[in-house]
A and B are shown apart, each in its own frame.
Chain A
Amino acid sequence: MITHDIIIIGGGLAGLRAALEAHNRGTDVAVISKVHPIRSHSVAAQGGVNASLVHDDSWEAHALDTVRGSDYLADQDAVEVLCREAPERVLEMEHWGTLFSRTRDGHIAQRPFGGAGFPRTCYAGDRTGHNLLHTLHEQVLRARIKIYREWLVTRLVVDGGRCTGFIAMHTPDSKLEAFRAKATVLATGGYGRIYQRSTNAIINRGYGISLAYHAGVPLQDMEFVQFHPTTLLGTNILITEGARGEGGYLYNNRHERFMEKYATGMMELAPRDIVARSIQTEVDEGRGFDGGYVQLDITHLGEKKIEERLGGIRQISIDFAGIDPVKEPIPVQPGQHYSMGGVSCDANGATPLEGLYAAGECACISVHGANRLGGNSLLETIVFGKRAGEHAAGYVQETDVQGENAHLDSLASEEQNISDLMGGDGESFAVVRDELRSVMQQDVGVFRNQAGLQKAVETIRELREKGRNVRVKSGATSFNFELLNAIELKGMLELGQVIAKGALAREESRGAHYRTDFLERDDEHWLRHTLAYQTPEGPRLEYKEVTITQFQPKQREY
């Protein structure tokens, strides 16, 4: 058994920021992650991180943009925290070594981003996530924080109504081990890969979120799934909103800048949900190109500017689609991008389960409501990662270590679960996974309706049955990826079910959740958060009030 005061599950931005904070407050903290921290999905973030740094901008303006972007579903007290603390967190990252792009006079450069009334997105070329994550990892190395690399956490241990640690599998030898902690912080990122088309890393399977769900913690607002308007045809690698921020145009097959029809004011820089639906409509109505895409044109920016500001996406287009955006437009289509929903928690990261905290994309506080603005998610990881680390550090001062019995029981039952998965004939994880991904894409995607969602709920129920028969053929004891996939598939199926059920129940259109059979936002009935609890019969849905402080709900217009 391995014991620490605090263990952070996840080595992305949220996890590392939490670890650093807990360490600086004098606690014994460790990080555990299924991949080396710098391989985490955070490394892929491109466009930037929001903060009101200059005097003609303000945190209040940032908050208003965020709340409007959220279609008024965000909790405004949490949004205030996000926007108020943004400058301090971003400047701190700069001080620790993040190589932000610079203005002529040496300040951090900021670019315009979708849905924002001010250019407040700080960026490091189009490699912002890479620069932030490497910086935090460097500072974590400097602090000599213990990192357990290549461990998959498979279940949380709950003892007497408290989370007291977890069970994890060490990938290099497939051995299970019990970890004991006074506080556990979930920072496990999103679940993009339950969709067929996703910008997310392949490892983003959402298993961390399902750990909390299993432990009885409600998942909040899971039906709100962000589809990014511009992902590269084929691999669905992200083409940052920065490409439009720098002045890129979207064209349909008649060479029309079609955003004129959908968002006359903000054009290509309208919020993501709106641009994604506009592209999908163009494609569905026959004005897209063969293969279901439109064109993102940045050729007019010229080679110099493209190299300087968008060098990463130029390289991506060349490597993954054989297209040089200096010369030709980039073929793009919408793809799953971000999970607004997640483990329900407050602005200190505390979940309803004592001893369990959550931060980053796996958490739902909620600061993004029904639609996240670009640049707010990196911000969320550093603001709320820090807060979760801080509050967990406070909590462990007044808490005793729990006994070992619950850990040993969990370990034994987990060993049984794993051995049940091994050997013999059964379904292949890949077949079940691909069916799930296809139904999510088809029926729980950009456009939704009752018939499709009902079908999805039913299909996923069947897939869960089928999922019980998944067996692992490889008996390898070291780096058995078939086994890892089979374990994580269970969580993917569960999240799919929660998302589809939540979307079916919500009979309105709000932010990223768009029902073709309920086109209007319905504040009277649906200005509230969904909470999904696990039961043997599937998710049970409850609802809770949205916190509104200074901004009264208004119609969104862009």
Chain B
Amino acid sequence: MVRLKVRRQDGDRVWHETFDVKDTPEMSVLEALFYVQERLDGGLCFRYSCRGAVCGSCAMLINKVPRLACRTQVSSVKNEMNVDAVKWGALARPVVKVAKDEILIEPLPNFNVIRDLVVDMEHFYDLLDYIKPWISAGDEVPKGGNLMSPEVEQQIEVYTNCILCATCHGACPAAGRDEMYLGPAALAKAWRFYLDPREQEKDKHARLEAVDNQSGLWGCDVVFKCVAVCPKKVTPTQGILAQRRQIPKNRIKKVFKRGKNSED
């Protein structure tokens, strides 16, 4: 038996409720939540789809750490509480009283809650949209396809592995402070497109220009919380730092481009 302590919310009403779940050796937190939904309280809501840590639906705060519920084993978080809470600082608030053997489950921080564990992701998707997350490919497909070396491919791959689950956003202190901060996922995605030889130079520079500000690259505290929680080993902070290093070059290009334009 394992006890879940779940933060519930319906409109303005917020409360904590405990559920006793019959656990099995390899049970995930997601499965434990299904147990509650199917046997104890059909009203409990949380998002899910793949149950295999690839779709990014089920991010939530488990024992004060943002993680995917499907990838988190009940056995590994059963007696964990009060250990990490210290390390996770700001996320540890509001303080909730939990017994040692309870698993505390709350919605992802830095988001508005719609109900129970379902948060409003629209803001996250909007932030992503801001960086124009696509390759601006021309209509003509080159014969035989574009060539790319395996080295470049592997460099980009670190960033394409992002599943947009938003655990990083939930762990990010800058996102907690500034609602307009683009956040680790969008900024890592921006770097992914910068690295891609298929992206047009002018679009790379425009994107870099768009994130060259306090709500973008310069808003990051460089505390690597996003890197620590990412279930896919993406490294947003490194991507942010790498883009900061490109900025002087980019600003010169911008001036140069302006100069050229005025000549036209």
Contacts and interface: CB of A to CB of B under 8 A. Distances in A.
Interface of A: 35-36, 38-41, 43-44, 53, 88, 91-92, 94-97, 99-108, 124-125, 127, 130-131, 134-135, 138-139, 141-142, 172, 201-203, 234-235, 237-238, 315-316, 319-322, 428, 430, 472-476, 478-482
Nearest to A106: B147
Interface of B (DSSP majority class) = loop
B220 interface: no
Contact of A479 (B38, B45, B125): B45
Contacts of B238: none
B33 to A, nearest CB: 10
Contacts of A474: 41-43
A104 B43 contact: no
A108 B145 CA distance: 8
Q: Which 10 A-B pairs have the closest CB atoms?
A: A482-B42, A106-B147, A474-B43, A97-B135, A138-B134, A474-B42, A430-B38, A479-B45, A142-B134, A39-B55
Contact of A92 (B41, B121, B141, B163): B141
Contacts of B55: 35, 38-40, 43-44, 201
Contact of A95 (B37, B132, B141): B141
B201 to A, nearest CB: 16
Given A91-B141, A97-B135, A202 B48 contact: yes
A54 to B, nearest CB: 10
Given A203-B49, A480-B45, A36 B136 contact: no
A141 B42 contact: no
Given A97-B135, A315-B53, 7 more contacts: A40-B49, A88-B141, A97-B134, A125-B157, A319-B53, A322-B26, A478-B118
B50 A202 contact: yes
Interface of B: 10, 26, 28, 37-39, 41-43, 45, 47-57, 71, 114-116, 118, 121, 125, 129, 132-137, 141-142, 144-150, 153, 156-157, 160-161, 163-164, 196, 198
A320 B76 CA distance: 12
B52 A428 contact: no
A125 to B, nearest CB: 7
Given A478-B115, A479-B118, A482-B37, A201 B51 contact: yes
Given A202-B51, A476-B43, A107 B145 contact: yes
A502 B149 CA distance: 50
Contacts of A104: 150
B114 A96 contact: no
Most chain A beta-carbon neighbours within 10 Å: one of B48, B51, B54, B114: B54
Given A97-B196, A106-B148, A235 B51 contact: yes
B134 A141 contact: yes
A91 B148 CA distance: 13
B57 A44 contact: no
A142 B134 CA distance: 7
Contacts of B136: 142
A69 B129 CA distance: 42
Given A35-B57, A44-B55, A202-B49, A478 B157 contact: no
Contacts of B164: 38
Contacts of A142: 132, 134, 136
A35 B141 contact: no
A91 B137 CA distance: 12
Nearest to A46: B54
A41 B160 contact: no
Nearest to B157: A99
A179 B164 CA distance: 29
B26 A99 contact: no
B142 A95 contact: yes
Contacts of A322: 26
B200 to A, nearest CB: 12
B52 A480 contact: no
7 contacts: A95-B137, A95-B146, A102-B150, A125-B157, A234-B26, A319-B71, A430-B38
Given A201-B49, A202-B49, A482 B43 contact: yes
B114 A479 contact: yes
A202 B50 CA distance: 6
Contacts of A100: 153
Given A44-B50, A95-B141, A476-B10, A102 B45 contact: no
Given A39-B50, A39-B55, A428-B38, A476 B141 contact: no
Most chain A beta-carbon neighbours within 10 Å: one of B53, B56, B116, B145: B145
A108 B141 CA distance: 14
Contact of A172 (B114, B133, B141): B114
A44 to B, nearest CB: 5
A228 to B, nearest CB: 14
Nearest to A129: B54
A320 B156 contact: no
Nearest to A473: B42
Contacts of B198: 95, 97
B185 to A, nearest CB: 12
